[in-house]
Amino acid sequence: MNKDLILLGHGSGGKLSHQLLDELIIPTLSGTPVSGQNDAAVITHDGRRLAFTTDSYVVDPIFFPGGDIGSLAVHGTVNDLAMVGAQPLCISVGLILEEGFSRHDLRLILESMRRAADRAGVTIATGDTKVVARGSADRIFINTAGIGVFEHELELGGGNAGEGDRIIVSGTVGDHGIAVLANREGLELETEVLSDSAPLNGLVAEILREGGDAVHVLRDPTRGGVATTLKEIALQSQVSVTLLERSIPVHPQVRGVCAILGLDPLYVANEGKLLAIVAPDAAERVLERMRIHPLGKDAAVIGGVTAAEAGRVRMETVAGGMRGVEMLAGEQLPRIC
Amino acid sequence: MNYQDEFRDSRIVKGIAAHIAELAAKAGRTMTFMEVCGTHTMAIYQYGLRGLLPPQVRLISGPGCPVCVTPAGYVDKAVAYSRLSGVIVATFGDMLRVPGSSSSLMEERARGADVRVVYSPLDAVKLAERNRDRCVIFLGVGFETTTPTVAGSIISAQQLGLANYFVLGSHRTIPKPMEVLTADPELGLDGYICPAHVSAIIGADAYRPLAEQFNIPCVVTGFEPTDVMQGVQMLVRQVVERVSRVEIQYSRVVKPEGNRKACEVLEEVFEPSDAEWRGIGVIPGSGLAIREKYAAFDAERAVSVRVEPLREHAGCRCGDILRGKITPADCPLFAKGCTPEAPVGACMVSSEGTCAAAYKYGI
Ligand code: SF4
């Protein structure tokens, strides 16, 4: 294999993405080969903690059932800030437009961004626009960055999962990836699958209010899906995770499309779901609180954390057997976000 | 409970497992069954079914993954086509990462080749319709399940008057290699979990000669956990009763005579040919080649290309995996030099490959 080439799989959010980050990007940019990244950086300045994050959006199609590239770009950055426990304050918007892109579509996307920002309670504070020659980009790419502040002392991170913790997912998994894919491939479905793209900061505030320091990890399982995210957490926290397949909520339509296309919903991207890893004595309370929130109504406990065999993720299958769960390898679905 | 759940209920699965254990104890010996369909391989790993079976019952995987049994030279040819200007290579996603002698389609795409992933050969025909100034070469890799749709694509390309749609074929039939493997004394097979989708096309009767001449139990089995377990139970019972016949567990889909219509489409376009199988070698009559009548759609006859000399990867034991001689853990490269991100052999690439399944789902 030619080692010099950047492949689509390097952007999948799975194992190849990790390799590129760990081998090239992080050591070159920061000098430290840190493995175990969180969704946003937490920086301390003058004794105050701030959260900072950035993300780029290249989804194809740019309008899909349940959202568009604009709302997705706002939600994604809001969610990355929320996952470290920060309240999103303001975001920036960088637009890269292809020559010939429609002004009408741009307006729709901008209006959608504005609505998404209002809903999440963030200000769009600054931005930049570039136009490149036809063919140098595909219609529109968006970068957003965001700053968040902390209203509490809690420290959340992928390295904090501990023995006995329960794993909660906030709703059905795989909706976003399948909504985009079905639309892109022109699959005709009986009922349309909608993307779950949504701002999670409100739900996070509820979870933290209820669970406090019993909440150890929050993560939004975007590219690479629930499986990849849990594997990352297991490695970061040096624990093992056991899932119960039967309890993982999957929309029947999503399950159907996955079966046809040979995909595993556990690896399909979500844009409005989170995983909460919570101490056992608080798990039930946190779950109940999540279910009251509209974005957590299908929340479920899907497994637990054990101390033995660091980095392992295993699942009791619906059939009663056991199997391992690995990170996504290669590209499952390119340009999904 | 929906349709799928009923076939995945752990209580039912465990109930069948208990029956199997009882029956197997009666046999008083170990027995080895082989599945020859990638979807079964995946289902067995994905649901962790091996762990539910008694120690006397061993399941091994055979040549059931079409991408895996396709020899490396085929990938080299596809790579060579992708490098020609004016060519679009259309393929199922599984072929993208299969390593050829020096490159893969994914690498070629990163270098600028136009390689498109399609979900059906008809999508490739549509591509050809939209790009009349370019050649669309579809990589037809598959067993009797895929081949009728490929045949259909050629027929519709002809009806549309497309002169720019071609198929690079690697089409195979499954019963022939089963004969070869049954005759292998080293394997000592006691029965076959016969494919579900393939059998829906060719019919369960296609395994009759095998069961009768080679005295080997054959059970056509579905993919759901309860299907596979029931299929195994039927095989164990045949062993205990010392009979060898073809049975259909998956009767909600598979009929003894198969799907005549699909077979007719297939036979209209394809004819039997010899085919090389990775790890097994050339098996007479085990392939399907495009008939002379449709030669204009056969990439190999219609579009010439120079292919680099073949270089097999040292140390890869895909061949032994495909013959059921070893399990992935027996390969010294497994999970070390060979992983899904940096695969050495096709068995680690394809979503139906045995090494990929063992890597992804192994415990
Ligand atoms: S582990 Fe890799 S090298 Fe070994 S047989 Fe499987 S595919 Fe080939």
Question: Which residues on neighbouring strands pair with residue B140, listed in sequence order?
Answer: B169
Q: Does B363 touch chain A (CB under 8 A)?
A: yes
Q: What pLDDT, on a 0 to 100 scale, did the predictor assign at position B5?
A: 67
SS3 B210: helix
When pLDDT is averaged across residues B189-197 and rounded to a whole number, the result is 96
> What's the pLDDT at A32?
59
Give nearest CA residue, ligand 1 atom 7: B345
Ligand 1 atom with the smallest distance to the CA of B315 is 3
d(CA A125, CA A325): 41
Task: Tell me whether residues A320 and B13 touch, CB distance under 8 A.
Answer: yes
Chain A CB contacts of B361 below 8 Å: 323-326
Name the strand (E) or helix (H) holding B95: none
Pocket test for ligand 1, best of B97, B104, B333 (most atoms within 8 A of CB): B333
In the structure encoding, which two tokens stand for residue B225, read together? Answer: 């956990």
Give the per-residue pLDDT at B17: 96
The whole-angstrom distance between A91's CA and the closest CA on chain B is 33
Name residue A29's amino acid.
L
Contacts across the A-B interface (CB distance below 8 Å): 94
pLDDT at A31 (0 to 100): 66
Ordered structural domains, chain B, with CATH? 4-64+175-248 (3.40.50.11750), 67-171+259-302 (3.40.50.11740), 318-361 (no CATH)
CA distance A217 to A233: 8
Question: Measured in angstroms, how far is the CA atom of residue B334 from the centroid of ligand 1?
Answer: 6
Sheet of strand B87-91, all strands in order from the earlier edge strand to the far edge = B114-117, B87-91, B135-142, B165-172, B281-290, B270-277
From residue B122, alpha-carbon distances to A187, B129, B140 in Å are 14, 11, 12
Put simply, the chain B residues between 69 and 128 with a CB less than 8 A from any chain A CB are: 97, 99, 103-104, 106-107, 109-111, 119
DSSP 8-class letter at B315 = T
Distance CA B302, CA B21 (A): 56
Task: Please report the atom of ligand 1 found closest to the CA of residue B332.
Answer: 4
Q: Do A319 and B359 touch (CB under 8 A)?
A: no
d(CA B99, CA B135): 24
Q: What angle do CA A126, A129, A132 make, to 5 degrees?
A: 160
In chain A, the N- to C-terminal Cα span, in Å, equals 27
- What is the model's pLDDT at position A3? 76
Query: Region B17-30: what's the mean pLDDT?
Result: 93
Considering only CB atoms, A320 lies closest to which of B14, B110, B342, namely: B14
- Percentage with pLDDT > 70 across chain B: 99
Q: Is B299 left (phi over 0), alpha (psi -120 to 50) or beta?
A: alpha
Closest among A1, A260, A326 to B356, alpha carbons compared = A326
Q: Using 50, 70 and 90 to split pLDDT, how confident is the model at B1? A: very low
The whole-number average pLDDT for the span B193-207 is: 95
Q: Which residues contact A27 (CB under 8 A, 6 or more apart)?
A: A33
Distances (CA, A) of B178 to A141, B101, B182: 52, 28, 6
- Substitution target from A317, A322, A331 for chain B, most B beta carbons within 10 A: A317
Ligand 1 midpoint to CA B187 (Å) = 20
Collect the ranges in chain A with pLDDT lower than 50.
33-36
Q: Which residues of B touch A184 (CB under 8 A)?
A: none
B208 to chain A, minimum CA–CA distance in Å?
30
When CB atoms are compared, the residue of A15, A318, A320 closest to B52 is A320
Q: What is the SS3 assignment for chain A?
A: CCCCCCCHHHHCCCHHHHHHHHHHHHHHHHCCCCCCCCCCEEEEECCEEEEEEEEEECCCCCEECCEEHHHHHHHHHHHHHHHCCCEEEEEEEEEEEECCCCHHHHHHHHHHHHHHHHHHCCEEEEEEEEEECCCCCCCEEEEEEEEEECCCCCCCCCCCCCCCCEEEECCCCCHHHHHHHHHHCCCCCCCCCCCCCCCCHHHHHHHHHHHHHHEEEEECCCCCHHHHHHHHHHHHHCCEEEEEHHHCCCCHHHHHHHHHHCCCHHHCCCCCCCEEEECHHHHHHHHHHHHHCHHHCCCEEEEEEECCCCCCEEEECCCCCEEECCCCCCCCCCCCC
Residue B4 has pLDDT above 70, yes or no: no
Which among B4, B351, B363 is the nearest to A323, CB-wise?
B363
CA distances from A282 to A202, A205, A226, A241, B236 (A): 19, 16, 22, 18, 48
Per-residue pLDDT tens over the stretch B248-290:
999 999 999 999 999 999 999 999 999 999 888 899 999 999 9
Contact assignment for B51 to A9 by CB distance below 8 Å: no
Q: Are B321 and B354 in contact (CB under 8 A)?
A: yes
Chain B hits for A246, Cβ within 8 Å? 10
Percent over 90 (pLDDT), chain B: 81
- How close A326 comes to chain B (CA, Å)? 5
Cα–Cα distance between B184 and B219 in angstroms, integer? 20
- Cβ of residue B285 closer than 8 Å to a chain A Cβ: no
At A137 the pLDDT is 94
Residue A171 main-chain phi, psi, to 5 deg: 175, -165
**B124 close to B90: Cβ distance less than 8 angstroms:** yes
Q: Using an 8 Å Cβ cutoff, are A168 and A275 in contact? A: yes
Nearest CA in chain B to A326: B360
Q: Which of B341, B347, B350 maximizes ligand 1 atoms within 8 Å of its Cβ, making it the mutation to test the pocket?
A: B347
**CB < 8 Å to B10, chain A:** 246, 317-320
Which sign, positive or negative, has the C-alpha torsion A209, A154, A228, A318? negative
Facing residue for A261 by CB, picked from B14, B52, B119: B119
* CB contact B259 to A (< 8 Å): no
Residues with CB under 6 A from ligand 1: B 316-318, 321, 328, 331, 333-334, 338, 344-345, 347-348, 355
CA distance A86 to chain B (A): 34
Residue B340, chain A, CB below 8 Å: the answer is yes
Residue A34: predicted pLDDT = 47
- Tell me how far apart the alpha carbons of residues A310 and A304 are, in angstroms, rounded to a whole number: 14
Please give the Cα distance from A286 to A36 (Å, whole number): 26
Contact between residue A203 and residue A295 where contact means Cβ atoms under 8 Å apart = yes
Q: Provide the token pair at A4.
A: 């010099």
Is A322–B4 a contact, with Cβ atoms under 8 angstroms apart? no
Prediction pTM value: 0.82
Within chain A, which residue ranges are assigned CATH 3.90.650.10? 166-324
Q: What is the mean pLDDT of residues B165-179?
A: 95
Q: What SS3 state is found at B190?
A: coil
Interface contact flag, B4 A323, Cβ < 8 Å:
no
Q: Which residue's C-alpha comes closest to atom 3 of ligand 1?
A: B316
Distance between CA atoms of residues A162 and A46, nearest Å: 31
The residues facing B136 across adjacent strands are: B88, B165
In angstroms, the CA A269 to CA A280 distance is: 27
Q: Do A319 and B106 touch (CB under 8 A)?
A: no
User: Domain A42-149, what fold?
Assistant: 60s Ribosomal Protein L30; Chain: A; (3.30.1330)
CATH number of A166-324: 3.90.650.10
The predicted-structure confidence for B85-102, as pLDDT tens digits, reads as follows 999 999 998 898 898 999
Contact A54, A144 (CB under 8 A): yes
Give start-end residues of each CATH 3.30.1330.10 domain in chain A. Answer: 42-149
